[in-house]
Amino acid sequence: MTKVLLLVPSLLPRSCDTFFILHAGHHSPVPDLALAPERVLDELLRTNRNIAWCLANDFFGKPTIRLVRPGTFSDFRQLKLDEGCDSLGQIKVPVSLPKAAYVTWFSDRVVQEL
């Protein structure tokens, strides 16, 4: 079974069409990985009727998928601890990144872009 974790960097232009993803499963290549952006877009269109309007009005585009190296999400939790968060149990990997520094931090860990 393949588990995928993803983040949306909210501070980038047209940020909702960029995703950071950690493939957390098999170490072998993911079949049809090149199809991931199209599959994400199809699923977004299926689950959110506003996406079609956003596409038509250039608020959203075909998703960019950025795979990050293994350990990135646990390293992010450690970064948050180092910044002064008191409880590891309260640190969540956010769905969107609230600081430009976090977007840069994740961008520096990208190993493949689709």
Taking only the tens place, the pLDDT of each residue in 53-96 is: 888 888 878 888 888 888 888 888 888 888 887 776 767 766 67
| Global pTM value | 0.65
Structural domain boundaries, residue 29: 3-113
Q: Are 51 and 44 in contact (CB under 8 A)?
A: yes
Amino acid, single-letter form, for residue 74:
S
Amino acid, single-letter form, for residue 5:
L
How many domains does the structure of the chain reveal?
1
- 107 phi/psi in degrees, rounded to 5: -60, -35
**Beta-carbon neighbour count of residue 64 at 10 Å?**
15
Q: Average per-residue pLDDT in the chain?
A: 74
More confident residue, 80 or 27: 80
CA distances, 44 to each of 1, 32, 50, 51 (Å)? 22, 19, 9, 7
